[in-house]
A and B are shown apart, each in its own frame.
Chain A
Amino acid sequence: MLVLIIEPDRILAKEYKKAFEGIGIEVVLCSDAQSAIGLVDHQKPDAVIVELQLAGHSGIDFLYEFRSYEDLSRVPLFIYSSVPEYAFDPDKKTWESLGVERYLYKPKVPIDRLVGIVKSKIEK
C-alpha cells in the first residue's frame, strides 16, 4: 500500500511518514503540487493526502489536475489542512465534485486519527 502525502512543512511531513510506516503503509512525500503531479505519472498511490496551502500551485490546483487523469479518478483523496473547511467552501460542493473523501482540519484531527481513517479506506 502506498500513500502520497503532499505537505509543505518538513517537520510535519516527517512525522506523518513515521506514523504511516509504523503500521506498514509505504509513504511518498512531496512538498509541492508540481512534484506530486510528476510523481503520480510513474507511481499510482492507493490514497492521497493533501494540504491546501502549498508553495506555488495550491492544493486546489493539484486536486483539479489529479482528477483530470482518468486512471486516477478513483484514488481516495483526503484534505488534511490547517485551514478550516468553512473558510472557503461552506457548502462542500467543490470537494464533492472533486471526489474528496474527507476534509480533515489539522488542529482537530491528530495524526493517529488521520492514519486510522486513511487505513480503513484503503483496506475497503
Chain B
Amino acid sequence: MVSQVKLNNDYLNSISPLLFDLQNHFLQIRALAEAKEPDPQSIDEIRLLSRHALLILDYAMFAIDAAQTELPLTTISAAAMAKDVAEDLKRLAGAYDVDIDLDVTKQLEPVLTNEAAAKGALYGLASSLIVIPRSSDKKIRIVIAAQETKPNTQRLGVYSPDLKVTPSAVKLSRLLAGKNARSVAPAEVHHSGLGLMVSDQLSQALGSQLLKFTHRGNKGIGFYVPMSAQLSIL
C-alpha cells in the first residue's frame, strides 16, 4: 500500500508572505555580496539585512506556535517594549531613509502580557512600514507610540505623517495568505507581507487585533494591550 503525504494547503498558503519577504532579503544580500568591489558599508548592510531577516523569521515561527498554545503572561512596561523595538529597528530604518521617533506617554502603568508576542507584533508592523515600497525618494518619518487611550487599556502602534498607512495593506496581506499562488501581488505585500502577517497573528494571539488609528494627526496601525485589573489597582 502506498501511503501519501498530504500537505496542508492552508498552512502552505499562510506562509506565502513569509516566502516572498525572505526571497527579497536573500536577493538584497546576494546583490550586496556579489558587488564587484564590496566596500565595508556593503558588508555592514549584509549583516544588518541578515539580522533583520532572521529576527522576522524567528517572530514568524513564534507566531505559528503562538496560535496553538496559551502564552505565558508577565508584567511588563509597554513603553519599554516600544523603546526596544524602536532601538532594534533604527539601523534598518536608516538603510531605507526612514527616521524613527518614539512617542510614549509618561508614567504608563505596567501591562500583563506576553512580552515576545507584543514586541513581535510591534516589530512586524514597524518593520513592514520601513520596507514598504514608496513612490518618492524623500526621507520619511515613522512614530512608534505607546499610550493609555482608555481606562485599563494601552495601545501600541506605528504612525506616519508621510505614509498613507491604511488597513488596506493588512487586508492585502491576508488576501495573499489566503491565495494559492505566486500571482502578481502588489509590491506592498511582496515586500512587507511577512511583517504584517506576523503582527496580525501575534496581536490575535494576545487577544487583540490590528486596527487603524490616528495619533497626533498621523494615521497608523496599532493594537490594544489590556492591563490586568489587579495591576491597575496597584
Contact = CB atoms under 8 A, between A and B. Distances in A.
Interface string B2-38: 0000000000000000001001101110111011100
Interface string A16-51: 101100100000000110110000000000000001
Contacts of A106: 27
Contacts of A8: 133, 187, 191
Given A19-B36, A53-B190, A12 B31 contact: yes
Contacts of B191: 8-9
A18 B185 contact: no
Given A32-B133, A106-B27, A110-B34, A11 B184 contact: no
Interface stretch (A69-77, A83-91, A95-103, A116-124): A83-91
Interface string B30-58: 11101110000000010001000000000
Given A32-B135, A107-B23, A55 B34 contact: no
Interface residues of A, number: 32
B133 A9 contact: yes
A87 B26 CA distance: 20
A58 B186 contact: yes
Interface in B164-211: 181-188, 190-191
Contacts of A31: 133-137
A10 interface: yes
B168 to A, nearest CB: 12
Contacts of B95: 10-11
- Chain B: interface size category: 20 to 34
A10 B94 CA distance: 12
Name which of A9, A18, A60, A110 has the most chain B CB atoms within 10 A of its CB.
A9
Given A22-B36, A35-B135, A11 B49 contact: yes
Interface in B64-109: 95-97
A2 interface: no
Nearest 4 interchain pairs by C-beta: A8-B133, A15-B31, A55-B133, A8-B187
Interface of A: 8-12, 15-16, 18-19, 22, 31-32, 34-35, 51-56, 58, 60, 82-84, 87-88, 106-107, 110-112
22 contacts: A8-B191, A9-B24, A9-B28, A11-B28, A11-B96, A12-B31, A15-B32, A16-B31, A18-B35, A19-B36, A31-B133, A31-B134, A31-B135, A31-B137, A53-B184, A55-B132, A55-B135, A56-B135, A82-B23, A107-B26, A107-B27, A110-B34
Given A19-B35, A56-B186, A107-B26, 19 more contacts: A9-B24, A9-B133, A10-B95, A11-B32, A11-B95, A12-B28, A15-B31, A19-B36, A53-B184, A53-B185, A53-B190, A55-B187, A55-B188, A58-B186, A82-B27, A106-B27, A110-B30, A111-B31, A112-B34
